[in-house]
Structure 1
Amino acid sequence: MAKKKTSKKNNFIYKNGKLQLSQLIGIVLVIGLVLTFAAQFYYDHHGQLPWKETQVDSSVTEQRAFIKKIAPYAQQMQLQYHVLPSITMAQAILESDWGNSTLSQRFNNFYGIKGTNDQPGAVLKTQEFTNGQWETVTARFRSYGSWQESMQAHSLLLVNGTDWNANQYQSVIQARNYKQAAQALYQDGYATDPGYPEKLINLIQKYNLNQYDQ
């Protein structure tokens, strides 16, 4: 009887029917390099890594939702009190961190408006720029029944001024555009941060908030 010939695998990957460990390591390294170059290519063209896309998109979605929520009421405030919606919205974004700050979430205060002992409010720590440096201080802030009430209080503050100066923010109301209004807010003492106008202007331009100005 003739003997049956048996085939042997003699290619560079298999030996005795088994994948060689050295070749397996080589294949893994090649795949790793390919994935690395692919990720770098994606980052160069999209500004982010592919596995970060969901997180970034979620943040962008939340920001768009916040703008969409407050824009109509900001325009209403313009009709009633002549405050530019772009300023109303940019301050809400900056002061409340897109509605995520403790003051905005728990007390509906979008603007960091301070209060007195005879007003509903809460005592919280905040940052103030004094004597050329940032300091942590404790202050009493107003609380509101809704974020709409907070936005109206902000407009009324700009229109009516403070208890010690009824005309304190008139230059903000009279500003011809958002750049002038942003500078006036700092000059009139709304915020102690010297970078406050630039931060507002950057937000307005980045998110095209001046499209809501009438």
Structure 2
Amino acid sequence: MKKLLLILVLVTNYFCVVAQSTEEYIETYADVAQRLADEHHIPASIILGVAIHESAAGQSKIARYLNNHFGIKGKNSNTEIRSAYKDFPSVDSSYTHFISFLKSRSYFNVLFEKYDQYDFKNWARGIQRGGYARNRSWSSQIIALIRKYELFQYDNRPEDYIEPADPAPVYRIKKKTSKTYTVKNGDNLGIIAKRNHTTVKAIKSKNGLKTDAIKPGQKLKL
């Protein structure tokens, strides 16, 4: 019983530390994100959300050793770890480079004209569409982080700002593909039906057959 209580305490403390470190991270870098947001008209919530996600709130190895908070790949001169990620002289320079990176790629640069600096949802989806991350749920994870920690409060939205509605889901009806079978020597309707998990009656109905007579080379709908 004592061991179980100890484990519960340790697990609880672990999650408290993680949550606290994320909140401390936000408090530390919110000003940097807001400054860049004002200069470049991109949501501060997006800058913070991506940084938290890609750096594990500053706890990842590339964040601690390379000051890389956005998962940007490139050369580095660090001798402490081997990594394919770019190093930066400071965390602030990593933040600045993230904006430069977006503006230097045509598939991200269009977002600065397409969306305003408060529309974090479309920014997240647009960055994902541009190929920033391979994970298909990446934008959903960024949006979830922004909502969880209420990062949108750093976007300084106007009081009358109306958040764009989410696009209506598109449901695609899967078309049924008709299966056909070419009759071979020695086949009869009973054999064909058993092999294809159907019945003689069903085959005759689909093919308009009045008798069981079939011939090699004949195509049957199944």
TM-score range, shorter chain: 0.5 to 0.7
Paired residues for 1:15-54 under 5 Å? 52-54=11-13
Aligned to 2:120: 178
Q: 2:38 aligns with which of 55, 79, 83?
A: 79
Q: Are 2:138 and 1:196 equivalent residues in the alignment?
A: yes
Shift of residue 149, structure 1, vs aligned partner: 0.3
Per the alignment, residue 101 of structure 1 pairs with 60
Per the TM alignment, residue 120 of structure 1 is displaced from its structure 2 partner at its CA by 4.9
Q: Percent identity, aligned pairs only? A: 25
Structure 1 residue 168 and structure 2 residue 107: aligned? yes
Change (3 A) 1:156 1:120: farther
Quick one: which amino acid aligns to residue 107 of structure 2?
Q
Q: Work out whether residues 171 and 181 of structure 1, in 8 Å CA contact, stay in contact via their aligned partners in 2.
A: no
In structure 2, the partner of 1:205 is 147
Q: CA deviation at 1:58?
A: 2.5
What is residue 72 of structure 2 aligned with on the other side?
113
One-letter identity of the residue aligned with 2:108: Y
User: Any gaps of 5 or more consecutive residues in structure 1?
Assistant: 1-31, 40-48, 125-139, 162-166
Q: Give me the whole-angstrom Cα distance separating, in 2, the residues matched to 1:55 and 1:102.
A: 19
Residue equivalent to 1:64: 23
TM-superposed CA distance for 1:55, in Å, is: 3.5
TM-score (norm 2): 0.60
Q: How many pairs align?
A: 148
Q: Aligned partners of 1:179 and 1:171: how far apart in 2?
A: 15
In 1, Cα distance between the equivalents of 2:146 and 2:73?
Answer: 24
More strand by share: 1
Tell me the SS of whatever aligns to 2:85: strand
Amino acid at match of 1:105: R
| 2:94 alignment partner, one of 140, 150, 161 | 150
Q: TM-score, normalised by structure 1?
A: 0.62
State the shift of 1:60 in Å.
Answer: 2.2
Q: Please report how far the alpha carbon of residue 98 of structure 1 lies from its aligned counterpart in structure 2 after TM superposition.
A: 1.0
Q: Tell me the amino acid that sits aligned with residue 96 of structure 2.
A: Q
Q: What CA deviation, in whole Å up to 9, does each residue of 1:107-163 have, x standing for no partner? A: 0000111125xx657753xxxxxxxxxxxxxxx3210001000000001111222xx
1:141 partnered with 2:100: no
Q: Structure 2: 5+ residue runs without aligned partners?
A: 157-222
- How far 1:188 sits from its partner (Å)? 0.9
CA–CA distance in structure 2, aligned partners of residues 58 and 189 of structure 1: 32
Query: After TM superposition, which residue ranges in structure 1, 4 or more long, deviate above 4 angstroms?
Result: 49-53, 119-123
- The corresponding residue for 1:27 is none
1:104 touches 1:110 (CA, 8 Å); kept in 2? yes
Aligned residue type for 1:91:
V
Cα RMSD of the aligned pairs, angstroms, is: 2.4
TM-superposed CA distance for 1:80, in Å, is: 1.6
Q: Which residue of 2 aligns with 1:29?
A: none
